[in-house]
């Protein structure tokens, strides 16, 4: 099969398109013939050698994808050969990720892909969807009626967070960086959308809550926004840090005075029970019409270009790779 193989850590040029062995599924594992692959920021950090838990070399990157179950290992009960599925946060036990024509993963990491959902959309759901649902429901413990601010609502995690919160009966605010982004976030279900580049946007968010503040903030860029987030929280409010690119200086009294909580999350450290529950949430979301916003699709052999696009952080939605299978 064809796959992307990384033999040394470095820039996008280390992503080589070459022949690789077809992986075999073990106990409670499935093999999926992939037609589309999701590209995530974390994969660029790992490739560059900037991630704490680096894989041994060589390895095939990738956590997410969509395709058809090709083979099952002993003990598998949740999938059958021929099933259309999406893969979320694949467990690459043998350094065989999803940037390939075939991938092996734990059966818990695959979920049925509804017939009306394309492989491209399914490939863009996995890691961003897990991050969105885990942050919202498990970490923040958001409930119907809560006011939720998705701070950075145009990206893969943000667009799914908006839709999940709206479907759960929450009042949903989002931020975007331009008029097109605002329209996108509004179209997918946010009640109010604010331009984070405009002076005074946090004041307008507070005005929209009647001065009470927001109950939950899902934060994609904590180093830039966390201090502002704490000022916008309601009493007993919660901020979940999903993304961050640097350090931040804050006054702990901003947390103390509101009896607030700042919570972290990492998808690959989700407890198994939470992982299984979150996969069910994502499947239900797809069945009820939740959209995965795909920005650009490239051939698998252009993975280096995809990583460059992710690093530029300019476009909303997901970058997807397609195989020749």
Q: What is the pTM of this model?
A: 0.93
Task: Report the distance separating Cα 85 and Cα 113, nearest Å.
Answer: 5
Q: Within 118-221, where are the H helices?
A: 119-123, 126-133, 156-167, 179-187, 201-208
Structure tokens, 284 = 């239900």
CA 63 to chain CA centroid, Å, is: 10
Distance CA 124, CA 66 (A): 8
How far apart CA 66 and CA 297 sit, in angstroms, is 14
Q: From first to last of its 325 residues, what are the pLDDT tens digits of the chain? A: 999 999 999 999 999 999 999 999 999 999 999 999 999 988 999 999 988 788 899 999 999 999 999 999 999 999 999 999 999 977 655 678 999 999 999 999 999 999 999 999 999 999 999 999 999 999 999 999 999 999 999 999 999 999 999 999 999 999 999 999 999 999 999 999 999 999 999 999 999 999 999 999 999 999 999 999 999 999 999 999 999 888 999 999 999 999 999 999 999 889 999 999 999 999 999 999 999 999 899 999 999 999 999 888 666 789 999 998 6
């Amino acid at each position: 099969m064809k796959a992307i193989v990384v033999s040394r850590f470095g820039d996008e040029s280390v992503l080589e398109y070459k022949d690789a062995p077809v992986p075999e599924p073990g106990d409670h594992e499935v093999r999926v013939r992939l037609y589309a692959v999701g590209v995530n920021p974390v994969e660029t950090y790992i490739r560059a050698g900037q991630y704490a838990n680096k894989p041994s070399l060589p390895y095939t990157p990738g956590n997410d994808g969509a395709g058809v179950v090709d083979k099952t290992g002993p003990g598998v009960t949740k999938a059958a050969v021929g099933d259309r599925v999406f893969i979320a946060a694949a467990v690459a036990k043998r350094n065989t990720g999803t940037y390939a024509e075939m991938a092996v993963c734990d059966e818990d990491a695959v979920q049925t892909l509804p017939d009306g959902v394309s492989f491209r959309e399914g490939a863009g759901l996995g890691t961003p969807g897990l991050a969105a649902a885990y942050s919202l429901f498990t970490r923040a413990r958001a409930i119907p009626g809560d006011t939720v601010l998705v701070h950075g609502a145009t990206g893969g995690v943000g667009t799914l967070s908006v839709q999940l919160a709206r479907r759960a009966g929450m009042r949903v605010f989002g931020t975007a960086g331009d008029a097109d982004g605002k329209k996108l976030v509004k179209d997918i279900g946010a009640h109010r959308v604010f331009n984070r580049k405009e002076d005074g946007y946090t004041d307008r968010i507070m005005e929209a809550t009647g001065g009470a503040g927001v109950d939950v903030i899902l934060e994609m860029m904590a180093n830039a926004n966390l201090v502002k987030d704490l000022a916008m929280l309601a009493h007993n409010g919660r901020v979940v840090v999903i993304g961050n690119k640097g350090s931040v200086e804050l006054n702990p009294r901003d947390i103390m005075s509101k009896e607030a909580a700042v919570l972290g999350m990492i998808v690959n450290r989700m407890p198994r029970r939470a992982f299984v529950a979150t996969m069910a949430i994502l499947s239900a979301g797809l069945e009820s019409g939740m959209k995965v916003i795909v920005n650009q699709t490239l051939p698998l052999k252009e993975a280096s270009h995809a990583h460059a696009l992710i690093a530029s952080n300019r476009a909303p939605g997901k970058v997807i790779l397609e195989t020749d299978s």
